[in-house]
Structure 1
Amino acid sequence: MNKNANLGSRGKFPLRRYLWTAMRIFLLFIGIGLSSVYASHSSAQTRMDIDVKNVTVKYLFEEIQKKSEYIFFYKDGTLDENKQVSFTAKDITLQDILNRVFGQTDLTYELDGRQVVVRKKPAKIPETNETGTNVPVVQGIEISGTVKDSEGMPLPGANVVEKGTTHGTQTDFDGNYALTVSGENAVLLVSYMGFISREIPVKGQTEIQVTLEEDVSNLEEVVVVGYGTQKKVNLTGAVSQVTAEAIENRPVANLGQALQGVLPNLNISIPSGNPNATPSFNVRGGTSLQYNSDDSKYEFQSGSPFILVDGVQMDINMLNPEDIESISILKDAASAAIYGARAANGVVLVTTKKGRRSQKPQITYSTSFQFNRPSARPDLLDAYTIQDAAIKAVEYENRTPSGDMYDKLNAIKAYMDNPEENPPYIMSPGGSIIWVANTRPYDEAVRNAAPMMKHNLSLRGGSEKNTYMISLGYQDQEGIYKINTDKFKRYNVLVNVGSEITDWLGMDYQISWNNTIYEEPISPAGKGSWWYAMAQEPFRNINMPIKTPADSPVGEMYTDNILSFMSYGSNRKSMNERLLMKIAPTIKLLKGWNLKADFSYMSRNYRQKEVLPELLRVDTDWNNLINSHTNPSYIDKTSDRTDQYTLNVYTNYDTTLGKHDISLLAGFNQEWLRYEHLRGRGEGILSPNIPVINQTTGNEYAYDSESHWAVRGAFYRITYNYDNRYLLESNGRYDGTSRFPKDRRFKFFPSISGAWRVSEESFTGFLKPTFDELKFRASYGSLGNQNVDNYIYIPSYGTVSQVQHMLNGVRPIGITPPGLVDPDLTWETSTTLDFGVDMALLGNKLDLSFDWYRRKTTDILIAGDKFPAVLGASSPTKNSGAMQTEGWELEVRWKDRFESGFRYDVALNLWDYQSEVVTFDGNPNKLLSSLYEGQKMGEIWGYETSGIFQTEEEIEAAPSQHLLNSQWFPGDVRYADLDGNGEISPGEQTVENPGDRKIIGNSTPRYQFGLNMNALWKNFDLNIFFQGVGKRDYWIDGSQSLYWGGLSNGAGTWEIYNNTWTPEQRDAHFPVYKNKAANRQVQSRFIQNAAYIRLKNLALGYTLPQEISEKIKVERLRLSASAYNIWEYTKVPDVFDPELMSADYPMMRSFALGLQVTF
């Protein structure tokens, strides 16, 4: 059959048409802007009508400004407030107006673009020449020249101002300027961002060439660290920071997506493309060992860092990315020690935007509209091919297919050839329905594109003593399902206010509110996600229509197709709301000595409601049955509330004694958290139109729980800097947590770090032409880990709903005895050693930073030795495990600019790590089914494959595989006999005796990278960002039917089917197309190379020239077009996204148009 069946246009979204229309509008704006770049300065010929009588010159200027784009500049006292002028004219140029009006006054002017510089006419003063005769001298002087950097490159947009006046101009793209100053004693003030400003006396010169030196102190960015900031050049620990510019203009749904690959060793895992999916964060790899209750075994843990937003812990995925000012990652123990027990897995510090002192009110509105489409879309086999493959699978095993199989095959062909004339079913000889439809679940249920809209509005500014920032954000995103579409909304409000109440008291206030709402249909229990379920059970989901035809014996009725379940009206609505209120006073005690505090309250309310009505379906005998997944129907409501209080009080003192810079910080931290959970459920919905529990008719259930914890700690930081060459820092914290016994709650966790700035030594002067900065760093420290369950040190009774024995005719509720606990339970401890080097070369064009680290976690909580069953209690948890992670990270950045004004920078982040079990008492025999000492995180054990059996004779001659399956046929997988004992077996399934298995790969992502490129030319900006993984192996589990298809229990894709073994295709990669678990053993033949490189972001922006912006009364207007996840190179099968490697809601490719305007 032809796999490219004509599906018509039903349900397709006209993406191409809408994108083309939007792009034409965008290109129109670009064309308008481009024309302005090369337009001549003809504004001086602008004509206007003027009619004024007996008005001051100032009033005349204001009238001209209203009717044109001109702005007048003059010093105080220049205009005569008492002198009046009159002027009437039509269709006249500015020059004519000013020439005629100024002829009546002592004023003159100069046109500089749109700027009109007004000054008094030069006075003539006597000056004696050699003969003693007085000669007139003009004081006004016109100055011109060029502003360049130390390498002779022009600096476009540099400010050139006469000191003490408002007279000024900016250099053009070639760095040229021209300015008239008041006289030969004038002083030019020349400034440019990132360079040291200069004051240049005119001294009668008419041409002044200016060279500006780069301001190294500006280039040494300020980095946010624990309870303060430091210059990057003075850091002694491993800290990385990114500012808002690096994550702007990306069409992403949350901050986690925006940060992926941007910072080295910040590992971000995105679980799916679901609009409500929450990315998880990890810093520097494996952190501990944990027990997985689902699989009943211990496994590696890659724990999440301690994430603080303006000093308060929260989920940053709820934030509006537009509100972010900077993000810092504290990676080693020396940097994170000040946060104590919460920081064992690293710290992420997020700073939101605030107003600035003496900043005029600035209103910014931004919006974007984008389309999201799946990055991977399965191309499933049609119903005929699936049935034909089932028949051939029987024949390959030398069995005879039944006549019903051929009847079904012929009926499917007839239906596919003419669905209008043939029903989607036939009747078996026994009178039961045999479904023969050709439903295409991904075509029926998945949209080609889903829209997403974002709006952001902010007000920002400040006076001499106050600052403010108010931001509103809204995001509306639809999912990719067109049947019962999933929908996501997010609302954000942020208010930051700062006040200098007195000379010694300042106060900061913050209120933020975030709310997310997500609605989706409920996936049937046991069937996994919708995306996964649609590829499962092909004889149900492909052969069955969604509804029976109207002329069937029961009319239109839902079938048991998975899409029937999606269609009929189930609903899950989740709401996640967070409110934060914070106040932070600062008291200036003495010069260099401050006392600071902040108190915050955060509440989080999570609510979820599920409504699962009853679904009637037809069975194979034309009976109406209740779908088992909706029996009983129910309404389920969950409410979670978290209240968290945080108090920080700390003081810092900075002083300088000659070449000695000393900084001291000490403080106290207290946090309280309380959590409440309440859940109610009612079965037997009376009416879907009244979805409340008290309108159900069946059983009702209620559940609740409460928990709380607290931490308390005292912390310090001591920083010493000698002559900007030798840096020493110590951080530490005496920390306590309520999660351990009273006598073991507190522990001291110190750290120390140091750095040597070799480039500042006098004997390294020979390095200066190449090295602008060369610094070596080292750090060592330990941190506790309180990320364990509450109350683990308290023996607790359990309950059972019914005991096994009857009592007075009933089975009463029972209580189980408490488990055993270890009275010596205490902290896990993480100790980190770090060595690093920072370099800046070639005039600060090239920056490089490298770190190597080793982190060892000891006293990990694991189950102790097993006790005899007669004891009636499980063994207690104890501190006995240990693991180690070793890795490195590299940051490289190059930046440069050309005389044409073109600027660019390229930044590479590259990192790697491996984690290994050091001590684990829970598996003394080193069984492969559990962790064992010496195991590396991500190890994949499997069989070595030696090909596919081609003949019966080859099967007879090969080592026996009867332990894996009793029967083998040509087309089956052939395994290698690694231990040479004549049979394929798993041995004792231990490290010492693995049978014919070995380590065939590792699923840990290795050599992760991000490559970011920016370019700026005139009004255009371009960003290209690549992200990827250099090495990763992955085994696709046998249950992943999107991959295995008919080799498992799935519909299968053409990609795999066309490469399966047949007698005519013996060199195929896959075995014969039949469901046989023995062919899907973990093995080397089907291990996937999951390395990839992905074009993560491509963004082009255009900012309107200032001349146009001011004409339309805006300060700045920027247009952008961007794309996300638009291309990748990988060797994984087409049905999988290399980031997910699972049959779940796929990642999205996004295309967006954006607008940002500032007033």
Structure 2
Amino acid sequence: MKHRILFVLLFCFAVCSAVSAQEVSMNFRQVKLEKVFDTITQQTGLTVAYSRPTVNPGKIVSIQADKEEISKFLRRLLADMDVDFEIGETKIYLKAKVASDTTKQSGKTKNISGTVIDQNGEPVIGASVIVKGTTNGLITDMDGNYTLTDVPEDAVISISYIGYQTVELKADNKALAKVTLKEDSELLEEVVVVGYGVQKKRDVTTAIASLRASDMKGQPVTSMAEAMVGRMPGVQVSQSTGAPGSSLQIKVRGTGTITAGTSPLYVVDGVPLAQEQLNTFNMNDVESIEVLKDASSAAIYGSRGSNGVVLITTKKGEEGRATVSYNGYYGWQTVSKKIDMLNAYEYADLVNDARNNTYIDKMESVNRKLIAQNKTPLPYNISDDNAVRLQNTNNDYNTIVPIEILPYLRGEKGLIDTDWQDEIFRTAGMQSHSVSVSGGSQKIKYYASVDYLSQEGVIVNSDFTRYSSRFNLDVTEGIFKFGLSLSPSVTIENAVNSDGAYNSNGGGIIASALHSAPIFPVYNPDGSFSFIQNAWSSNTQTVLPNGTVRKGNSQTQVWNPVALAMLQKDETKASRIFGNVYGEVAFMPELKYRANFGVDIYSSSRDTFRPSTIPISNTEGNPESVPEATARTGKMYNWLFEQTMNYNKEVGGHSFSALAGWTMQYQRDESTYAFANGFITNTVPTLNAGTVTRGNTQASEWALLSGLARLQYNYKGKYMLTGAIRADGASRFGKHNRWGWFPSISAGWRMTEEKFMKSLSFVDDLKLRASYGLTGNFRIPNYGAQGEVAYLSYVLGGSSAEAVKGAAPKSMPNPELRWEKTAQVNVGFDASLFKNRLTLGLDVYNSNTYDLLLNVPVPMMTGYSTRLENIGKVNNKGVEFNIATNQKTGDLNWSLYFNISKNINEVKELGPGNADIISSGSVSNAYFITRVGEAIGSYYLPIVEGVYKNQAEVDAALHYKDSPTNYGLADTKPGDFKFKDVNGDKILDISDTDRAIVGNYMPDFTYGFGATLAWKGVDFGIVFQGVQGNEILNLSRRYFYNHEGNMNNYKGAVNRWKSEDNPGSGMNVRANRVSKGQNGITSTWHVEDGSYLRIKNISLGYTLPESWLRKVYLKSARIYCSVQNPFTFTSYEGYNPEVSNRTAATTNGEDYGVYPLARTTSIGVNLTF
């Protein structure tokens, strides 16, 4: 690694020494100077930065040039002005020139001393301080200080610095003691990245959200998506899992599809990502992130723009000496929330209640049968011991009180009271180190970095490690320009099977920990893992009066979750090479050709091993299991080639910009899988040590061919119009509909350029926007339009015949299959007020997605049950608002921002008959429904109206009195759920007709706000993120509020129904091991409000004064501390209100045991040499 860094540094320093210049051509007579500047920008891409009054942009000039070097041209252009220039990476800076002739000043002279600082109170090093009209001048030192001698009393002192407004003060002005330079907003006008180009932000006519590297300062995030949280209106970023290295989910303006993919298209440096894993990229390499939200801005990406487009731009080199930067931090992570569970004594009380109630119910049933047979009923009492209970109930083990809880019921002290969450969670370390070097000349500019990230998980034995590097190079030689961007990375992830149901194939560690009874230990006395709760253990023995030993299962079988995490192996190694090379030719100043070739090569291997030390489930004595191992490999090759022509022309006040081009992209995916068992030892976990019993290989590919064009028109910055179109041909769609056309148009009107707005002096800028666009959704299976064939084994001939392989149709072809299309209208405005101290924006949109891809039933005579067709329609409409302010009060700089978004989702059509789409959740009777007039994937469940308080209410209930079949509710008793007769037919059928739409995972609105403060080198930042009105289907409640006494429960179970006189909360059912009146069916009892407000990040930093750094050759140094996810305000009972076990649009919003989020506290440093 050291050699690698050294090589990068040496190479970058070498290329830094090269010097060259770009060329310009023009022929102007009697034009404004600003027009010459605009032409320079068009031909070179360099913005001319200047301040008034140093440069007068309205000055009339005449000048000619034919492929003249830019530096020579500027010398001629500025020859008659007291102006000098400096060419930077993206700008040409103009500043006041030191005069060559000395002008005599009258009067006395004096010495003047002072300090020059910026708006943040930091010294400005190298600022020019000069007696105007003379050669008497100097530049400020490392502390921003200066001393001028022999200054005439009537002289004017000019203080200037590149990128700042020039300040001119008379020599007798006391303000010279401390001069504050302000950034020149005209010089530093912001540009945003749009598809296949850049555009001035003030001229954008579409809905685009932007985030700069400076906005992410001080946040120790591991991925780009984390930095976007709460900052972009209309962009919902969700972190549903806290597993190290996990990806975040991004949705732009709601969900517009039912079966196709919902993720946006990610484009890095102009190359669309084939693999969406953003965690392979170093966040310190990112310069900006733009999100194209409306269809007009995204239409240039055609068939892949329906879910929005995220454009990521990495850092480039800048002209000047090499700058070396180090960014690093160390942190520690703790689980952000623990769920309050019953302790051992509370648990024992619940178990006792459940078994006693079961015994009472069972004896009532036994005696009813005896009475029906004219026999004497049996006497019973809850004080009966286990032997009597087993005799009375014919060995019903659900009625016995486990002997292991008896000491707890007696209140004995010093007993085992295991907090299983404390056992699986830990304080996890985290560190990141990134070194970059950048610099260059007018000809060659470079940026290179290396990065190391190590993140332990808050669940034991889980971690993520990343090694990445980047090299960006741009070279200009006359009319030619070329460059490359290369980013190789390697990641290693050690995962634990944390999510899902308990004991799900050796996983469900979260659920298993919450299920595990606190009366059992983690370890045996010999230090080995205890599996006492794996059922049929000696602690469940009951000795009958005749001496017979009966064994039963007192607890639901649960593997030791700590053992599951520590003993199993699940390692994924992945490598990625992502990058592109480009070439550009300027045939004439207005016309440029560009070719770009990009690659995304990804490979991974995943190895798992489950040792024999995890015993066979639910078996007496916990015998060892048979070890199992799997090996998976995956490879992905993706390449992109595109060619474009750009033409820019200005005539009078009319500016035109045209783009035309074509692009082609290809991807191939390959995977292998193998399963082995029969290992004779746990020490060799590779497949060759076992017997491979099954495996497969797969391969698939797709291709895309496209043409695109865009025309932009701008009249004096007042009227703006953009039109674009893209045609995509994709292999994924039917041969009759392989091509799709995606047009867009947008317009803008800057009202502040109109005369009637001039009287509103507080309005600096006001722009109205309107747009329309059509985009598509490319995210469907590669062969969805083609009939697939599956290979199966058949036994042909007699009973002794061997199985032979044969092929059979798997899916029905549809040659008419076409794109899902989204048509969106957007109107909005952008404004800045009070000298740009206040900015705000508003967008209103209406989006219709049609030709949805749905599986439609077909006649069985075809040999198929369904076929994929284009038949549905979904609408999303909403509003987005953002406001921000930047203020300076003395040495204090502060800013605030706020954004809020509301999206309404509605299904409009579902094909002929508009039949509901019913989808199953992760447990039985958990249903989702997609219905016309409702949002996609709504929860479809029975409604709980409360708990029966007494027997009279039970006797009067519909299910007990009027239902001929009772639907499994005949054994309902006081303390059980009371269900609603939804359809009003006087019969409860909670498994079918008496279900209703009771909520949805989609929020009513999302919002974010934050603040930054800076004072004399101290900076503070805070980011809030909020979601309001979404519901969560908390399936964990199915078990942790089951009150069966066979597993641990939420602390709320203490407030359960116990009697008519002690009804508890009135919504918390009685304890019972078996007879529960359908209390366990998934219902509104499992639906919770998922609204939350989260403090996403708090950071505090200090930038050391320059005077402290001179001796150690540092340009800047900042130290900081930061806390990620410190607080979440929510009523949700689970770990994380952003949770979702599933990502499909039709079954989203489940919580069934998901890796919780971490609270990360870190200390870091940013150094620049």
Report the Cα offset of residue 235 of structure 1. 0.4
Report the Cα offset of residue 241 of structure 1. 0.7
Per chain length, whose mean CA-contact separation is higher, i.e. which structure has more relative contact order (CA < 8 Å, sep 6+)? 2
- CA distance in structure 1 between the aligned counterparts of 2:952 and 2:193, rounded to whole angstroms: 71
Q: How does 1:966-1045 map to 2 (within 5 A)?
A: 966-986=970-990, 989=993, 995=994, 997-1037=995-1035, 1040-1042=1038-1040, 1044=1041
Is the Cα–Cα contact under 8 Å of residues 1099 and 1122 in structure 2 kept in the other structure? yes
Residue in structure 1 matched with residue 891 of structure 2 by the alignment: 901
Residue in structure 1 matched with residue 466 of structure 2 by the alignment: 490
Residue in structure 1 matched with residue 334 of structure 2 by the alignment: 373
Cα displacement string for residues 468-522 of structure 1 (whole angstroms, at most 9, x for unaligned residues): 111111111112234xx2121111101111222x211122122211121011355
- CA distance in structure 2 between the aligned counterparts of 1:331 and 1:143, rounded to whole angstroms: 54
Is the Cα–Cα contact under 8 Å of residues 947 and 978 in structure 2 kept in the other structure? yes
Residue in structure 2 matched with residue 446 of structure 1 by the alignment: 425
Which residue among 809, 813, 824 is the counterpart of 1:817? 809
Does 1:1103 find its partner at 2:1100?
A: no
Which residue among 217, 227, 246 is the counterpart of 1:258? 227
Aligned to 1:714, the other structure's residue is in SS state strand
Residue in structure 1 matched with residue 778 of structure 2 by the alignment: 786
Cα displacement string for residues 258-304 of structure 1 (whole angstroms, at most 9, x for unaligned residues): 2211211222222311113221222111121118xxxxxxxxx6333
Which residue among 403, 419, 436 is the counterpart of 2:385? 403
Aligned to 2:206, the other structure's residue is in SS state coil
- CA distance in structure 2 between the aligned counterparts of 1:885 and 1:897, rounded to whole angstroms: 40
- Paired amino acid for 2:403: K
Aligned to 1:1066, the other structure's residue is in SS state coil
Residue in structure 2 matched with residue 965 of structure 1 by the alignment: 969
Question: Which structure 2 residue ranges, 5 or more long, are not aligned?
Answer: 1-100, 362-380, 387-399, 538-557, 920-928, 961-965, 1141-1150
Report the Cα offset of residue 795 of structure 1. 2.1
Q: How does 1:594-605 map to 2 (within 5 A)?
A: 594-605=592-603
* Most deviating of 260-269 and 189-198: 189-198
Aligned to 2:854, the other structure's residue is in SS state strand
Residue in structure 1 matched with residue 706 of structure 2 by the alignment: 713
Is the Cα–Cα contact under 8 Å of residues 247 and 258 in structure 1 kept in the other structure? yes
Residue in structure 1 matched with residue 88 of structure 2 by the alignment: none
Does 1:413 find its partner at 2:404?
A: no
Does 1:687 find its partner at 2:707?
A: no
Is the Cα–Cα contact under 8 Å of residues 466 and 497 in structure 1 kept in the other structure? yes
Does 1:224 find its partner at 2:206?
A: no
Residue in structure 2 matched with residue 1124 of structure 1 by the alignment: 1124
Which residue among 666, 684, 687 is the counterpart of 2:660? 666
Is the Cα–Cα contact under 8 Å of residues 913 and 1006 in structure 1 kept in the other structure? yes
- Paired amino acid for 2:639: Y
- CA distance in structure 1 between the aligned counterparts of 2:266 and 2:402, rounded to whole angstroms: 63
Does 1:871 find its partner at 2:862?
A: yes
Report the Cα offset of residue 1139 of structure 1. 5.0
Is the Cα–Cα contact under 8 Å of residues 1100 and 1121 in structure 1 kept in the other structure? yes
Report the Cα offset of residue 185 of structure 1. 11
* Most deviating of 1050-1059 and 964-973: 1050-1059
Q: Relative to structure 1, is the Cα distance of residues 621 and 373 closer, same or farther in structure 2, using a 3 angstrom cutoff?
A: closer
- CA distance in structure 1 between the aligned counterparts of 2:598 and 2:680, rounded to whole angstroms: 45
Q: Relative to structure 1, is the Cα distance of residues 910 and 310 closer, same or farther in structure 2, using a 3 angstrom cutoff?
A: same
- Paired amino acid for 1:403: D
Report the Cα offset of residue 639 of structure 1. 1.1
Q: How does 1:115-134 map to 2 (within 5 A)?
A: none
* Most deviating of 876-885 and 323-332: 876-885
Is the Cα–Cα contact under 8 Å of residues 308 and 350 in structure 1 kept in the other structure? yes
Aligned to 2:642, the other structure's residue is in SS state strand
Report the Cα offset of residue 1120 of structure 1. 0.3
Does 1:326 find its partner at 2:278?
A: no
Which residue among 773, 790, 804 is the counterpart of 1:798? 790
Residue in structure 2 matched with residue 72 of structure 1 by the alignment: none
Does 1:505 find its partner at 2:480?
A: yes
Which residue among 707, 722, 745 is the counterpart of 2:715? 722
Q: Relative to structure 1, is the Cα distance of residues 511 and 156 closer, same or farther in structure 2, using a 3 angstrom cutoff?
A: closer
Aligned to 2:835, the other structure's residue is in SS state coil
- CA distance in structure 2 between the aligned counterparts of 1:219 and 1:964, rounded to whole angstroms: 72
Q: Relative to structure 1, is the Cα distance of residues 154 and 713 closer, same or farther in structure 2, using a 3 angstrom cutoff?
A: same
- Paired amino acid for 1:602: D
Is the Cα–Cα contact under 8 Å of residues 547 and 556 in structure 1 kept in the other structure? no
* Most deviating of 787-796 and 182-191: 182-191
Q: Relative to structure 1, is the Cα distance of residues 786 and 454 closer, same or farther in structure 2, using a 3 angstrom cutoff?
A: same
* Most deviating of 240-249 and 913-922: 913-922
Residue in structure 2 matched with residue 738 of structure 1 by the alignment: 731
- CA distance in structure 2 between the aligned counterparts of 1:1148 and 1:160, rounded to whole angstroms: 49
Cα displacement string for residues 882-938 of structure 1 (whole angstroms, at most 9, x for unaligned residues): 11111121111011111x210101011211212211111276454766422222135
- Paired amino acid for 1:889: E
Is the Cα–Cα contact under 8 Å of residues 283 and 305 in structure 1 kept in the other structure? no
- Paired amino acid for 2:869: K
- Paired amino acid for 2:483: D
Residue in structure 2 matched with residue 85 of structure 1 by the alignment: none
Which residue among 513, 517, 537 is the counterpart of 1:534? 513
Q: Relative to structure 1, is the Cα distance of residues 261 and 964 closer, same or farther in structure 2, using a 3 angstrom cutoff?
A: farther
Q: Relative to structure 1, is the Cα distance of residues 619 and 262 closer, same or farther in structure 2, using a 3 angstrom cutoff?
A: closer
Q: How does 1:504-523 map to 2 (within 5 A)?
A: 504-521=479-496
Is the Cα–Cα contact under 8 Å of residues 265 and 272 in structure 2 kept in the other structure? no
- CA distance in structure 1 between the aligned counterparts of 2:570 and 2:457, rounded to whole angstroms: 14
Is the Cα–Cα contact under 8 Å of residues 848 and 892 in structure 1 kept in the other structure? yes
Is the Cα–Cα contact under 8 Å of residues 681 and 700 in structure 1 kept in the other structure? yes
Q: Relative to structure 1, is the Cα distance of residues 1082 and 808 closer, same or farther in structure 2, using a 3 angstrom cutoff?
A: closer
Which residue among 240, 244, 248 is the counterpart of 2:213? 244
Report the Cα offset of residue 820 of structure 1. 2.5
Q: How does 1:184-223 map to 2 (within 5 A)?
A: 189-191=158-160, 195-197=164-166, 200=168, 215-218=184-187, 220-223=189-192
- CA distance in structure 2 between the aligned counterparts of 1:274 and 1:154, rounded to whole angstroms: 41
- Paired amino acid for 1:947: G
* Most deviating of 138-147 and 393-402: 138-147
- Paired amino acid for 2:773: G
Is the Cα–Cα contact under 8 Å of residues 337 and 782 in structure 1 kept in the other structure? yes
Residue in structure 2 matched with residue 161 of structure 1 by the alignment: 129
Q: Relative to structure 1, is the Cα distance of residues 889 and 144 closer, same or farther in structure 2, using a 3 angstrom cutoff?
A: same
Report the Cα offset of residue 942 of structure 1. 3.9
Residue in structure 2 matched with residue 937 of structure 1 by the alignment: 936
Aligned to 1:813, the other structure's residue is in SS state strand
Is the Cα–Cα contact under 8 Å of residues 820 and 849 in structure 2 kept in the other structure? yes
Which residue among 440, 465, 469 is the counterpart of 1:462? 440
- CA distance in structure 1 between the aligned counterparts of 2:255 and 2:332, rounded to whole angstroms: 36
Residue in structure 2 matched with residue 311 of structure 1 by the alignment: 271
- CA distance in structure 1 between the aligned counterparts of 2:744 and 2:617, rounded to whole angstroms: 69
Q: Relative to structure 1, is the Cα distance of residues 799 and 1039 closer, same or farther in structure 2, using a 3 angstrom cutoff?
A: farther
Q: Relative to structure 1, is the Cα distance of residues 885 and 1077 closer, same or farther in structure 2, using a 3 angstrom cutoff?
A: farther
Residue in structure 1 matched with residue 873 of structure 2 by the alignment: 882
Is the Cα–Cα contact under 8 Å of residues 862 and 922 in structure 1 kept in the other structure? no
Q: Relative to structure 1, is the Cα distance of residues 1028 and 598 closer, same or farther in structure 2, using a 3 angstrom cutoff?
A: same
Report the Cα offset of residue 156 of structure 1. 7.5
Report the Cα offset of residue 1029 of structure 1. 0.7
Report the Cα offset of residue 194 of structure 1. 6.6
- CA distance in structure 1 between the aligned counterparts of 2:278 and 2:472, rounded to whole angstroms: 17
Report the Cα offset of residue 968 of structure 1. 1.6
Cα displacement string for residues 315-369 of structure 1 (whole angstroms, at most 9, x for unaligned residues): 3222111111000001112111111212221110101111101x21111112211
- CA distance in structure 2 between the aligned counterparts of 1:555 and 1:764, rounded to whole angstroms: 78
- CA distance in structure 2 between the aligned counterparts of 1:1088 and 1:208, rounded to whole angstroms: 63
Q: How does 1:64-103 map to 2 (within 5 A)?
A: none
- Paired amino acid for 1:1089: D
Is the Cα–Cα contact under 8 Å of residues 848 and 873 in structure 2 kept in the other structure? yes
Aligned to 2:202, the other structure's residue is in SS state helix
Is the Cα–Cα contact under 8 Å of residues 557 and 617 in structure 1 kept in the other structure? no
Q: Relative to structure 1, is the Cα distance of residues 983 and 679 closer, same or farther in structure 2, using a 3 angstrom cutoff?
A: closer
Report the Cα offset of residue 191 of structure 1. 3.7
- Paired amino acid for 1:901: D
Is the Cα–Cα contact under 8 Å of residues 274 and 1146 in structure 1 kept in the other structure? yes
Which residue among 746, 753, 759 is the counterpart of 2:752? 759
TM-score, scaled to structure 2: 0.77
Does 1:1157 find its partner at 2:1117?
A: no
Q: Relative to structure 1, is the Cα distance of residues 249 and 799 closer, same or farther in structure 2, using a 3 angstrom cutoff?
A: same
